């Protein structure tokens, strides 16, 4: 399907998964992780995707251009643990065709 993009997600056990993510279903990265069950239910996307819990924190490994961080994401990350310079909240990254080749790693559960 032409709207699908290839992305690589490294789960919390260090296993890297190559998955196809739809870009036409308003899905964000956190939801892609959940749809492929790459993190146990109840450990990711706890707030549903409102940038209010940081359970979907991930580290961006590729130099893919991503949407700019909004205030709420930045504020939530400032209260989260295990934060690095390349931390983002998966729920704030909507899948778009430009993100082909995106590589991320899920941050530890906290």
Partner 1 sequence: MIKTDILIIGAGPTGLFTVFEAGLLKLKCHLIDALPKAGGQCSEIYPKKPIYDIPAYPEILAGDLTHKLLEQCKQFEPGFTLGERAETIDKQKDGTFIVTTSKGTKHHAPVVTIAGGLGSFEPRKPLIDNLVEYEDKGVEYIIKEPEFYRNKKVVIAGGGDSALDWSIFLSDVASEVTLIHRRNEFRGHLDSVEKVQELKNAGKINLITPAEVIGVEGNGKIEAITVKQDAKTFTKQCDHFIPLFGLSPKLGPIADWGLEIEKNAIKVNNALDYQTNIPGIYAIGDVNTYPGKLKLILCGFHEATLMCQSAYQIINPGKKYVLKYTTVIGVDGFDGTRKEAPKAVVKKIE
Q: Site residues (CB under 8 A) for partner 1?
A: 37, 40-43, 46-47, 50, 52-53, 55, 71-72, 74-76, 78-79, 81-82, 110
Contact 93, 28 (CB under 8 A): yes
Neighbours of 28 (CB within 10 A): 19
Distance of alpha carbon 43 from alpha carbon 55, whole angstroms: 7
Q: How far is the CB of 79 from partner 1 (least distance, A)?
A: 5
CB of 84 to partner 1, least distance (A): 13
Dihedral sign, Cα of residue 49, residue 83, residue 69, residue 96: negative
CB of 41 to partner 1, least distance (A): 4
Q: Pick between residue 14 and residue 42 the one whose CB is nearest to partner 1.
A: 42
User: Which residue lies nearer to partner 1 by CB, 54 or 93?
Assistant: 54
23/55 with CB nearer partner 1: 55
């Amino acid at each position: 399907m032409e709207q699908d993009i290839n992305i690589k997600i490294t789960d919390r056990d260090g296993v890297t998964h190559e998955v196809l993510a739809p870009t036409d279903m308003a899905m964000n990265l956190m939801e892609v992780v959940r749809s492929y069950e790459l993190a146990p239910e109840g450990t990711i996307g706890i707030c549903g995707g409102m940038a209010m819990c940081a359970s979907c924190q991930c580290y961006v490994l590729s130099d893919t251009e991503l949407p700019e961080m909004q205030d709420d994401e930045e504020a939530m990350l400032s209260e989260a643990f295990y934060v690095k310079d390349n931390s983002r909240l998966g729920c704030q990254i909507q899948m778009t065709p430009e993100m082909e080749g995106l590589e991320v790693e899920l941050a530890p559960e906290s």
